[in-house]
Chains A and B, each alone.
Chain A
Amino acid sequence: MRAKPSALLVGAAVLALAACGTGDAGGSSTASAGASASSSVSGSITVFAAASLKESFTAIGTAFEAEHPGTRVTFNFGASSALAQQITQGAPADVFASASPTTMQQVVDGKAANGSTAFARNVLEIAVPPNDPAKVAGLGDLGRAGVKVVLCQPQVPCGALAQTVLGKAGVTVKPASLEADVKSTLSKVQLGEADAALVYVTDVTSAGDTLKGIEIPADVNAATTYPIATLTGSKNPDLATAFVTYVLSEGRAELTKVGFQAP
C-alpha cells in the first residue's frame, strides 16, 4: 500500500515531462493543404522564425488564426543560426523561416526540411538613438574612434551581412559588442548604450520613434533572402503547409508594411 502513492507520483511526473516534450499532436485533417483548405485545418503549430520577423510574423499569425478558427500558431523568434541548430537537434518545430539561405541549408542538410521557398528580401540600415549623440551620418562615421558600434555576431545572418556591407564600403569598425541576434543589437541602441548599430531596415521601421534610421547607399548595401519551409518532423503538416502558403500570399502585405522587399 505504501508504494502506491509514490508510484502514482512517478507516473504523474513522467506524464508531465512527456507533455513538456511534445507539441499538440492534433491535425487529423485529411483535406489537401493550402489557402483554399481554410476550414479543414485545425490544431496548433510552432513556427521558428528569425528575430527580424518578430513584428511581421506576429501580425501574420494573428491574421492566420482569425481566418482559420480553431488553429493556434506559436512562435519562437531567435537568431536564425541558433534556431537551425535547435531544429537539427530535434526541437519540435513545424515551420522554419530563416534570415538567410545558408542557415536554411543547414536544416535541409540535416534532413529536417525538403527544400524551401524564398518569401522576402531585406537590406541593412544604420540605427542610431533619436538624438544621435555621436553625430553619425553614414557608414564612414562607424569607423571613427569613440563611436560605440554594436553589430550582430558574424555567425548570424545580420552579422554576416554587416561584414559584407562594411567590406564593400571599405570601413573598418572596432565593435563594442557582437550581439546574439538583431533584436539584442537593436536594444543596445534603444537603451542609448551604443551610438550606432547595423540592423535590418525592417527593424528600424518596427522600432518606430525609439530610434532613427540612416539609409545605406544601394551600391554598398547588401541584401539577404528569407526562405521558409515546412519541417519533416512536423506533427501537423497540413496546418504547417497552410501557414507557409498564407505567408507567401496574404501575408505579403504585413511584410511589405515593415519594409521587406519581394524576393
Chain B
Amino acid sequence: MTRLAEQAGGIAEGNVPNAPRAARRGTGNRPLWPLAPFAAAGVALLALPVLGLVVRAPWLRMPELLRSEGAVEALRLSLVCSVSATVVSVVLGVPLAWVLARGRGAWVGLLRGVVTLPLVLPPVVGGIALLLTFGRNGLLGRWLYEATGYALPFTTAGVVVAETFVAMPFLVVTVESAFRSADAGLEEAAATLGASRLTALRTVTVPLLLPSLGAGVVLTWARALGEFGATITFAGNLPGTTQTLPLQVYGLLESGDLDGAVGMSLVLVVVALGVLLLLRDRWLRPGGIGGGLA
C-alpha cells in the first residue's frame, strides 16, 4: 500500500527526479501482480465452462440435432417470444425511463426500486408472483378470466409476459441513465427556441439516447432469450406453445439426452456470441455511447 501511495503521490506531484520511474510504473503497462491470481481465477470461472460445453459438444450429430422438429420449434418460439418481449419492453420501458429520469420527489426513488426489483429477484419467484397476479385465480387474472374466459398461464402470450417481466428492467435502467446524461438544459433551450416539448424530445433527446437504447435492447433481448425460471413457473412447458430453448435444454438433460442438451445449449452460446460480436463496436465498447453519437 505504501509503495502504491508513493507511486500515486509521485505521479500526482509530477515529482521530477522520480518522473521516469513513475512513468514506467504508473502507465498501467505493468500489471499489479498480487491481483493477477484473482483475475486469472475470474477468467477461468467465466470462460472454462463455455469451453467445457464446446469440448463435450456432439459435433457430428449437430446437423441432425438442429434439424429435429423439437429444436426448430423451440428455436422459432424462442425468437418470437424474445423479440416480442423486447418490443413490449421498449414501448413501455422508454416512457418509464423518462419518468424516472425527469421526475422529482421521493416517489421517484420508490418507483425506481419497484420497477427494478425483477432485476435482483430470482426469476422463479417472479414466476410465482406472475401466477398469483395474472393466473386465472390471480389478483387481476381472475377478472380477466371471468370476463373473457382467457387466462395467460400455459399460453405463448404468457411466455412473453414472463420474459418481459424479467428483461424490461435492463432496458429501463440503461435508458434512464442515458436520459439523465442527456442534458435537460438542451430540451429547455429547444423549448425557448419555439419547439414544443414533444418536438424537443423527438429532435434533441431521442437522438442522444439512441446508442443507449441500442445497448438496452440487446441486453433485454439476450435476457429474454435466456429466460427460464419465470417462464417454466408461469407459462408451463409445452413444446410448440411455451417450451422455449432453455426449457427444452432442461427437458433434454432431465431425460438423459446429454447430447441433445449440449447441442441446444451450443445454439444459445452461438447466438449470444453473435450478438456480442456484431454489436461490440457500436454498443459494448467502453465509451461506446460517445462513439455511437458520431
Which A residues lie at the B interface, using CB under 8 A? 2-3, 6-7, 9-10, 13, 79, 81-82, 84-85, 106, 148, 150, 153, 155-156, 175-180, 188, 191-194
Q: Does B66 contact A (CB under 8 A)?
A: no
Binds A, one of B9-17, B33-41, B264-272, B281-289: B33-41
- B contact residues, range: 20 to 34
Chain A minimum-CB-distance residue to B132? A191
What are 8 residue pairs bridging A and B, where the CB atoms are less than 8 Å apart in the complex? Answer: A85-B258, A155-B256, A176-B236, A177-B236, A177-B237, A178-B236, A178-B237, A180-B254
In angstroms, how far is the closest chain B Cβ from the Cβ of A197?
12
Say whether B37 contacts A10, CB under 8 Å: yes
Q: Does B221 contact A (CB under 8 A)?
A: no
Asked, given contacts A81-B254, A84-B256, whether A153 binds B237 with beta carbons under 8 Å apart, the answer is: yes
Asked, given contacts A10-B37, A188-B236, whether A81 binds B255 with beta carbons under 8 Å apart, the answer is: yes
Say whether A175 contacts B33, CB under 8 Å: no
Say whether B254 contacts A193, CB under 8 Å: no
CB neighbours (8 Å) of A179 from chain B are 236-237
CB neighbours (8 Å) of B100 from chain A are none
Q: Does B136 contact A (CB under 8 A)?
A: yes
CB neighbours (8 Å) of B205 from chain A are none
In angstroms, how far is the closest chain B Cβ from the Cβ of A188?
7
Which listed residue, A6, A81, A155, touches B38 by the CB 8 Å rule?
A: A6
Say whether B135 contacts A191, CB under 8 Å: yes
Q: Does B70 contact A (CB under 8 A)?
A: no
CB neighbours (8 Å) of A10 from chain B are 37-38, 41
Q: Does B253 contact A (CB under 8 A)?
A: yes
Which B residues lie at the A interface, using CB under 8 A? 1, 33-35, 37-38, 41, 131-132, 135-137, 151, 153-154, 232, 235-239, 242-243, 250-251, 253-256, 258
Measured between alpha carbons, how far is A192 from B236 in the docked complex, in Å?
Answer: 14
Which listed residue, A6, A79, A82, A150, touches B236 by the CB 8 Å rule?
A: A150
Say whether B254 contacts A155, CB under 8 Å: yes
Say whether B135 contacts A6, CB under 8 Å: no
Which listed residue, A2, A79, A153, touches B34 by the CB 8 Å rule?
A: A2
CB neighbours (8 Å) of B132 from chain A are 191
- Shortest 7 CB-CB distances between A and B: which pairs? A177-B236, A155-B255, A192-B137, A176-B154, A82-B254, A6-B34, A193-B153
Say whether A177 contacts B242, CB under 8 Å: yes
CB neighbours (8 Å) of B237 from chain A are 153, 177-180
CB neighbours (8 Å) of B243 from chain A are 178
Say whether A79 contacts B254, CB under 8 Å: yes
With most chain B CB atoms within 10 A of its CB, the pick from A2, A3, A156, A193 is A193
Measured between alpha carbons, how far is A94 from B103 in the docked complex, in Å?
Answer: 58
In angstroms, how far is the closest chain B Cβ from the Cβ of A207?
16
In angstroms, how far is the closest chain A Cβ from the Cβ of B102?
40
CB neighbours (8 Å) of A177 from chain B are 154, 235-238, 242
CB neighbours (8 Å) of A148 from chain B are 154
CB neighbours (8 Å) of A188 from chain B are 153, 236
CB neighbours (8 Å) of B1 from chain A are 2
Asked, given contacts A148-B154, A178-B237, whether A192 binds B232 with beta carbons under 8 Å apart, the answer is: no
Say whether B41 contacts A193, CB under 8 Å: no
Say whether A192 contacts B37, CB under 8 Å: no
